[in-house]
């Protein structure tokens, strides 16, 4: 049963956003080329935090020569500082039919998470870009920073509506073709791509960006035995493609189903671990904030 | 335990059928509930190893099936209406629905049916049966059959013009092994039972009468109508006796009887009153025809208001006698007023054996002793058993009156009679018997033999003194017994002729139809015989559907509610 998307007011929950102030997203090293910000860059240069010494070569800023060393050792060395730059964060939000399904649709959680990550990123002076996908990839906002950006992102998120099926593989490939500056690609989806999880993971392996995978999953997805309408002989119709599969529901089949879902989740988790990607699995039937708080256990997620 | 509405075999058969039906329905049930899900990709994979249930595939929902079966069985059991106690103490009941002429008054039979139906509901199904007591006693409902069938089978039944045969049924009860030891016959109607019949009952047999049948109203009717040889001695006429009976203040005066012959009023016949309630018609011509006596009566019973009788047809037979035979035969023919010597167009001939005289006409032949083994050889047409034919021929042709021993002594050889089947009728006698020394022609049997042999050869129809419903027919034409169309069929079965009910009795070839009248004094006078104890089922048996049946149905409803609850809660498919 498809549900309506939340409004801007519903998304832009100040209380919720205030609670996120202690959270941060830290990239281990980002590729240089961006403007100065708070993310640790691979470049060494004009930052504030001391990083190392190196021998002076002509062209180095003479202000960084450590004269104390020169006086004691007679060698001219310069101090090298950590250079902090902005991290481009690309939000890729799933707007397919499955995200709008059921009374408490996943899209509500997806939008909240997207706005939360936007808020966290913008607070770190990172730039945030917004993409949505279903059958097609659609750029909603170019990556940019600034606190005024948060409202624009919220407005764009509220404009999202149900559209087509989950074509995540194509969406990731589409993002890759845009040759965006390397940054953090946040995929917010249930990952129910009809092409299969392996295809999705294959395309994710190809991306140049760092990854933050946010998997949205409901209780009924995990264990359908709680659904009253799933009894006896049922014709299960896919809410996106409309394809049907006839099933005689028995405890054995339910057990089989749970095992398949667990495999699916395990594969996603394993991929994230192997790829060094951050991974969030959020239950859409539970409150978002506590789950985010648990994910940002130490106040930050390192990616 | 027994069941009010179903026998045990039917109950078990129904339960098995329900189990089978539910099993098939479970097998066939592929009613899919359509549900939209976002995870169809997982379901497709999950169902890949366990395909959906289709016809004759693995049976899955045993608990659901057993619950449904339990509900159906409880309802079925409730419908059967089990009863723990037998209110009639194990007695077998024969319910006799009187369909005789005793029940001819309007409403009598309907009342009997209603009473029987009420009692039927309260008797154990496997220990009761219903007999229809009309012209014949017929089983209307067997033990173990559904009571509902009674209503269907009783449709169209009406009282028959016959006296009651309830005593035959009582006699049957008395036969060892025919019925259980303890058996009770309940008569629904006025069928009378004689005291003698009850005295012969074996122990364990009881006869009751359902209450509620009042004394019949005043009635009068004809109780006897028969013919006999004319007292005047005329060969071509008969005397007819008619007797009436009445109850209440109705009269039985001879003047009340209206007579008609073939539909026309009878005239020119002397009628004598035979006190107290009879009359005799003297010298009624034996020219055939249907004689009807009718008595006008404003009573409720019409079956006895008229009686009919088929008059015999006695005519002169033209006989030609061969010149090769002696004058003694001529004298015998001339002495018989029913026989006329006629050279032209004779109907039968007397001749010597082998003589061509008379051609193919029926013939009384005389053959020399050395050419014929038996003294009397009779050839009859038809399929009558030879032994029966021989037995009948002795009396029919008056041979029993012959001094056979004297003839045998004189002839010096045994005097025998042989009957055999053939295409035409023929009687062949030793020629020597015409000789005076055998004393045959001088015996009183000779003219009788000539007369009866002639009429038998002429194939005259049989004559019955009377034909009354439920009574043995009295045949007045022994000389025609060898081929009487009304008796051949019954005699083949070794039975006597007893028409079952009033109406017409047709010969097997449907060429003749003899009227059969009710002629029952018991019916006309409303005899009830011995007073019988009234039948009333015990109070326990009158209490509608049993409490146990109600409890079973309530239990089934409770299980239905549980099934619905379980279904709603997802505990069963």
Please write the tens of the pLDDT for every residue from A9-43.
777 777 888 887 777 666 555 555 555 555 555 55
CB pair distance less than 8 Å for A253 and B47: yes
Residues A253, B50: C-beta atoms closer than 8 Å: yes
Nearest CB to A245: which of B40, B568, B572? B40
Q: Give the tokens for residue B523.
A: 């019916």
Identify whether B146 is part of a domain.
yes
CA distance B49 to chain A (A): 9
**Distance in angstroms (rounded) separating the CA atoms of residues B191 and B98:** 6
Give the DSSP H or E segment for B328.
Answer: helix B327-335
**Residue A224 in 3-state DSSP?**
helix
Kindly report, residue by residue over A158-169, the tens digit of the pLDDT: 888 888 888 999
Closest-CA residue of A relative to B35 is A236
A181 is written with which tokens?
A: 């500056």
Helix A251-275, helix A197-206: angle, nearest 10: 10
Query: Contact, B101 vs B159, CB < 8 A?
Result: yes
Report the alpha-carbon distance of residue B153 to residue A262 in Å, rounded.
71
Domain A8-27+88-302 belongs in CATH node 3.20.20.70: no
**Shared domain check, B231 and B297:** yes
Task: Please report which helix (H) or strand (E) contains residue B464, including its range.
Answer: strand B464-466
Query: What HEC string does B206-265 produce?
Result: EEEEECCCCCCCCCEEEEEEEEEECCCCCCCEEEEEEEEEECCCCCCCHHHEEEEECCEE
Closest CA to A68 of A79, A82, A57, A81: A79
Residue B529 placed within a domain: no
Interface contact flag, B38 A238, Cβ < 8 Å: yes
* Helices B445-457 and B327-335, packing angle to 10 deg: 80
Residue with tokens 């049989």: B462
Residues of A in contact with B30 (CB under 8 A): 233
DSSP string, B333-395: HHH-TTEEE-SSS-SEEEEETT--TTTTS-EEEEE-TTT-SSSEEEEEESS--HHHHHHHHHH
Nearest to B455 by CA among B310, B341, B319: B319
What whole-number distance in Å separates Cα of residue B531 and Cα of residue B516?
30
Record: contact B46-A247, CB cut-off 8 A: yes
- Cross-chain residue pair A256–B44, CB shorter than 8 Å: no
Distance CA B103, CA B188 (A): 10
Alpha-carbon separation of residue B348 from B227, B351, B453, B456 (angstroms): 28, 10, 10, 10
pLDDT score, position B252: 75
Q: Searching chain B, which residue's CA lies closest to the CA of residue A255?
A: B46
- The predicted structure's pLDDT at residue A216: 94
Closest chain A residue by Cα to residue B30: A233
Q: How far away is chain B from the Cα of A146, in angstroms, using its nearest Cα?
A: 37
Q: Which of B34, B60, B570 sits opposite A248 (nearest CB)?
A: B60
Do residues B399 and B430 touch, judged by C-beta distance below 8 A? no
B136 shares a domain with B69: no
Residue matched to tokens 């069929």: B489
How high is the pLDDT of residue B84?
62
On chain B, the residues whose CB falls within 8 A of the CB of A229 are: 33, 35
Which pLDDT does position B403 carry in this prediction? 83
Q: At A269, which helix (H) or strand (E)?
A: helix A251-275
Mean of pLDDT values over A143-171: 87
Q: Output DSSP code: residue B542.
A: G
How buried is residue A148: exposed, middle or buried, by Cβ count under 10 Å (0-12/13-18/19+)?
exposed
| A238·B50 Cβ contact <8 A | no
CA dihedral B482, B483, B487, B488 (to 10 degrees): 100
Contact A208, A183 (CB under 8 A): no
pLDDT at B478: 46
Contacts of B357 (CB under 8 A, 6+ apart): B320, B322, B324, B349, B351
Domain limits at B303? 220-314+461-524
Quote the strand ranges of chain A, DSSP E: 24-26, 36-45, 49-55, 77-85, 89-94, 128-133, 137-144, 184-189, 210-217, 233-238, 244-248, 278-283, 300-302
Report B:125-184 residues touching A (Cβ under 8 A): none
**How far is residue B510's CA from residue A263's CA, in Å, rounded to a whole number?**
94
C-alpha–C-alpha distance, residues B392 and B481, integer Å? 6
What's the pLDDT tens digit per position in A173-195? 999 998 888 889 999 999 999 89
Contact B47 A246 (CB under 8 A): yes
Enumerate the residues of chain B whose CB falls inside 8 A of the CB of residue A228. 568, 570
Q: How many other CB atoms are there within 10 angstroms of residue B256's CB atom?
A: 16
Sequential DSSP letters for B149-171 = HHHHHTTT----SS---HHHHHH
First to last CA, chain B: 36
CA distance B68 to B31: 17
Find residue B366's DSSP bridge partners: B352, B429
* ipTM of the complex model: 0.80
Residues B96 and B209 in one domain: yes
Cβ distance of B40 and A98 shorter than 8 Å: no
Q: Is residue B530 part of a domain?
A: no
Q: What is the pLDDT of residue B116?
A: 92
List the Cα angle B305/B307/B313 in 5-degree steps: 160
Crossing angle of helices B547-568 and B62-80, in 10° steps, is 160
pLDDT band, residue A283 (cuts 50/70/90): very high
Domain boundaries, chain A: 8-27+88-302, 36-85
**Which residues in chain A have Cβ-Cβ distances shorter than 8 Å to B50?**
248, 250, 252-253, 256
CA angle A138, A141, A146 (to 5 degrees): 160
- Read off the tokens for A234: 């049922």
Give me the sheet containing A233-238, strands edge to edge. A244-248, A233-238, B33-37
Selected residue of B31, B32, B43 to mutate for chain A interface (largest A Cβ count, 10 A) = B43
Minimal C-alpha gap between B126 and chain A (Å): 44
Q: Tokens 């989950």 label which residue?
A: A166
Query: Does residue B400 fall inside a structural domain?
Result: yes
Question: B389 and B452 in one domain?
Answer: yes
Cβ atoms within 10 Å of A106's Cβ, excluding its own: 28
Nearest chain A residue to B64, by CA: A232
* Residue in B with minimal Cα distance to A260: B42
- Look at B39 and A241 and tell me if their CB atoms are within 8 Å: no
Overall domain count for chain B: 4
Does residue B324 lie within any of the structural domains?
yes
Contact assignment for A228 to B570 by CB distance below 8 Å = yes
What is the H or E stretch that residue B514 is in?
Answer: strand B513-516
Cα B412 from chain centroid (whole Å): 51
Quick one: B195 and B234 in the same domain? Answer: no
Looking at chain B from residue 21 to 60, which residues have their Cβ under 8 Å from any Cβ of chain A? 29-47, 49-50, 52-53, 60
Residue B415 located in a structural domain = yes
Is B39 in contact with A230 (Cβ distance < 8 A)?
no
In this structure, are B420 and B474 located in the same domain? Answer: no
**Nearest residue in A to B51, CA atom:** A247
Tell me how close the Cα of A138 comes to any Cα of chain B, in angstroms. Answer: 22
Average pLDDT in chain A: 83
My answer on whether B432 and B348 are in the same domain is yes
- Classify B271 as helix, strand or coil: strand
User: Residue B322 and residue B140: Cα distance in Å, rounded?
Assistant: 63
Tell me which chain A residue has its CA closest to the CA of residue B50. A253
Candidate from B33, B36, B42 with C-beta closest to A257: B42
Q: What is the mean pLDDT of each successive set of 10 residues along chain B, which is 573 residues long?
A: 73 89 75 84 82 53 83 88 62 91 86 90 85 89 88 90 87 83 89 84 87 79 86 86 85 82 88 86 89 81 86 88 87 89 89 89 91 88 66 72 84 85 85 87 87 83 78 56 41 58 73 81 81 71 61 89 78 64
H helix or E strand, kind and range, residue B64: helix B62-80
Torsion, Cα B321 B325 B329 B331, to 10 degrees, reads: 90
Task: Identify whether the C-beta of residue B254 lies closer than 8 Å to the C-beta of residue B206.
Answer: no
Q: Which position has the token pair 């149905």?
A: B553
The Cα–Cα gap between B141 and B493 comes to 28
Of the residues B408, B424, B457, which one is the last residue of a structural domain?
Answer: B457
Query: Using an 8 Å Cβ cutoff, are B419 and B390 in contact?
Result: yes
Structural domain contains residue B534: no
For tokens 């001391």, the residue is A50
pLDDT of residue B182: 85
Is B199 exposed, middle or buried (CB count within 10 Å of its CB: 0-12, 13-18, 19+)?
exposed
Q: Of B151, B182, B214, which residue sits at a domain end?
A: B214
What is the helix (H) or strand (E) element at residue A221, kind and residue range? Answer: helix A219-222
For residue B318, the cross-strand partners are B340
Pairwise CB contact (< 8 Å): A250 & B50: yes
Distance between CA atoms of residues B544 and B493, nearest Å: 49
Owner of token pair 């009573």: B299
- Among the candidates B214, B247, B266, a domain finishes at B214
| Cβ-nearest to A192 among B34, B41, B45 | B41
pLDDT at B537: 67
Q: Work out whether strand A24-26 and strand A49-55 pair parallel, antiparallel, or are unpaired.
A: unpaired
* Beta carbons of B46 and A253 less than 8 Å apart: yes
**A58 inside 8 A of chain B by CB:** no
Q: Which of B106, B107, B109 is nearest to B97 (CA)?
A: B109
Which residue from B479, B531, B471 is spatially nearest to B223, judged by alpha carbons?
A: B471
First to last CA, chain A: 36
Question: How many CB atoms lie under 10 A from the CB of residue B159?
Answer: 21
Residues of A in contact with B45 (CB under 8 A): 260
- Cα distance between residue B306 and residue B312, in whole Å: 20
The CATH code of the domain that includes B137 is 3.40.50.410
**Over the stretch B276-301, which tens digit does the pLDDT of each residue have?**
888 999 999 888 889 999 987 667 78
Torsion angle of the four alpha carbons B550, B553, B555, B559, in this order, in degrees rounded to the nearest 10? -160
Instruction: Please list every residue in chain A whose beta carbon sits closer than 8 Å to the beta carbon of residue B573.
Output: 231-233, 249
Regarding whether B194 and B73 lie in a shared domain, the answer is no
- Smallest Cβ–Cβ distance between B33 and the set A190, A225, A234 belongs to A234
Collect all residues of chain A within an 8 Å Cβ-Cβ radius of residue B47. Answer: 245-247, 253
B570 and A231 in contact by Cβ < 8 A? yes
B56 to chain A, minimum CA–CA distance in Å? 14
Q: Do B41 and A247 touch (CB under 8 A)?
A: no
For residues A101 and B13, give the distance between their C-alpha atoms in angstroms, rounded to a whole number: 52
Pairing of strands B128-133, B137-141: antiparallel
The 10s digit of each residue's pLDDT in A51-86 is 678 888 888 888 888 899 888 988 888 887 766 567
Mutate to test the interface with A, among B46, B53, B60, B567 (most CBs of A within 10 A): B46
């Amino acid at each position: 049963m498809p549900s309506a998307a939340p409004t801007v007011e519903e998304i832009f929950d100040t209380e919720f956003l205030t609670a996120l102030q202690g959270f941060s997203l830290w990239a281990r090293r980002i590729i240089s080329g961006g403007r100065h910000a708070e993310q640790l860059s691979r470049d060494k240069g004009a930052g504030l935090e001391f990083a190392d010494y190196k021998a002076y070569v002509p062209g180095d800023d003479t202000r960084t020569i450590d004269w104390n060393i020169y006086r004691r050792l007679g060698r001219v060395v310069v101090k090298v500082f950590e250079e902090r730059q902005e991290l481009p964060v690309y939000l890729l939000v799933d707007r397919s039919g499955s995200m709008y399904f059921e009374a408490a649709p996943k899209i509500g959680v997806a939008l909240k998470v997207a706005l939360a990550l936007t808020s966290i990123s913008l607070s770190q002076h990172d730039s945030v870009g917004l993409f949505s996908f279903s059958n097609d990839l659609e750029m909603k906002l170019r990556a940019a920073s600034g606190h005024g950006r948060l409202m624009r992102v919220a407005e764009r998120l509220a404009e999202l509506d149900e559209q087509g099926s989950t074509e995540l593989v194509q969406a990731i490939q589409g993002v890759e073709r845009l040759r965006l500056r390397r940054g953090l690609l946040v995929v917010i989806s249930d990952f129910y791509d009809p092409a299969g999880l392996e295809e999705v993971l294959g395309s994710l392996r190809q991306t140049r960006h760092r990854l933050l995978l946010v998997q949205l999953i409901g209780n009924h997805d995990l264990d359908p035995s709680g659904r009253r309408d799933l009894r006896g002989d049922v014709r299960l119709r896919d809410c996106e493609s409309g394809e049907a599969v006839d099933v005689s529901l028995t405890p054995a089949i339910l057990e089989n189903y749970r095992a398949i879902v667990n495999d699916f989740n395990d594969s996603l988790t394993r991929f994230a671990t192997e790829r060094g990607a951050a991974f969030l699995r959020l239950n859409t039937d539970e409150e978002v904030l506590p789950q985010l708080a648990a994910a940002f256990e130490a106040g930050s997620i390192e990616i | 335990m027994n069941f009010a509405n179903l026998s045990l075999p039917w109950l078990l058969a129904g339960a098995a059928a329900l189990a089978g039906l539910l099993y098939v329905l479970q097998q066939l049930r592929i009613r899919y509930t359509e549900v939209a899900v976002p995870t169809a990709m997982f379901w497709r994979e999950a169902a890949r190893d366990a395909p959906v249930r289709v016809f004759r595939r693995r049976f899955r929902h045993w608990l659901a099936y057993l619950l449904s079966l339990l509900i159906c069985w409880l309802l079925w059991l409730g419908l059967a209406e089990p009863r723990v106690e037998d209110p009639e103490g194990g007695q077998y009941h024969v319910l006799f629905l009187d369909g005789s002429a005793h029940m001819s008054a309007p409403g009598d039979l309907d009342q009997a049916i209603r009473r029987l139906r009420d009692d039927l509901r309260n008797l154990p199904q496997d220990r009761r049966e219903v007999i229809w007591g009309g012209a014949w006693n017929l089983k209307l409902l067997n033990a173990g059959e559904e009571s509902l069938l009674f209503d269907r089978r009783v449709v169209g039944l009406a009282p028959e013009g016959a006296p009651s045969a309830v005593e035959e049924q009582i006699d049957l009860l008395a036969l060892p092994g025919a019925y259980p030891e303890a058996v009770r016959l309940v008569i629904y109607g006025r069928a009378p039972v004689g005291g003698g019949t009850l005295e012969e009952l074996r122990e364990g047999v009881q006869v009751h009468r359902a209450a509620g049948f009042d004394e019949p109203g005043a009635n009068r009717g004809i109780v006897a109508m028969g013919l006999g040889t004319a007292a005047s001695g005329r060969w071509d006429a008969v005397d007819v006796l008619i007797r009436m009976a009445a109850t209440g203040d109705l009269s039985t005066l001879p003047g009340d009887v209206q007579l008609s012959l073939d539909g026309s009023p009878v005239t020119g016949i002397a009628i004598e009153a035979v006190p107290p309630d009879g009359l005799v018609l003297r010298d009624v011509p034996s020219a055939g025809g249907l004689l009807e006596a009718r008595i006008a009566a404003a009573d409720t019973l019409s079956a006895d208001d008229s009686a009919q009788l088929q008059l015999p047809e006695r005519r002169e037979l033209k006989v030609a006698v061969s010149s090769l035979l002696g004058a003694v035969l001529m004298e015998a023919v001339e002495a018989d007023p029913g026989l006329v010597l006629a050279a032209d167009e004779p109907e039968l001939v007397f001749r010597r054996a082998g003589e061509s005289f008379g051609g193919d006409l029926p013939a009384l032949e005389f053959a020399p002793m050395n050419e014929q083994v038996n003294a009397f050889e009779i050839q009859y047409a038809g399929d009558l058993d030879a032994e029966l034919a021989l037995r009948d021929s002795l009396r029919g042709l008056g041979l029993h009156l012959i001094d056979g021993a004297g003839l045998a002594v004189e002839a010096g050889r045994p005097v025998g009679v042989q009957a055999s089947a053939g295409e035409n009728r023929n009687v062949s006698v030793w020629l020597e018997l015409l000789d005076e020394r055998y004393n045959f022609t001088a015996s009183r049997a000779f003219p009788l033999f000539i007369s009866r042999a002639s009429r038998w050869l002429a194939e005259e129809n049989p004559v019955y003194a009377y034909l009354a419903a439920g009574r043995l027919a009295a045949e007045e034409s022994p000389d025609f017994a060898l081929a009487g169309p009304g008796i051949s069929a019954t005699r083949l079965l070794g039975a006597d002729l007893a028409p079952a009910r009033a109406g017409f009795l047709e010969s097997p070839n449907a060429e003749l139809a003899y009227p059969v009248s009710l002629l029952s004094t018991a019916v006309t006078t409303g005899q009830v015989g011995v007073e019988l104890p009234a039948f009333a089922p015990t109070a326990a048996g009158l209490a509608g559907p049993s409490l146990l049946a109600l409890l079973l149905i309530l239990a089934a409803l409770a299980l239905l509610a549980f099934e619905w609850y379980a279904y709603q809660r997802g505990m069963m498919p």
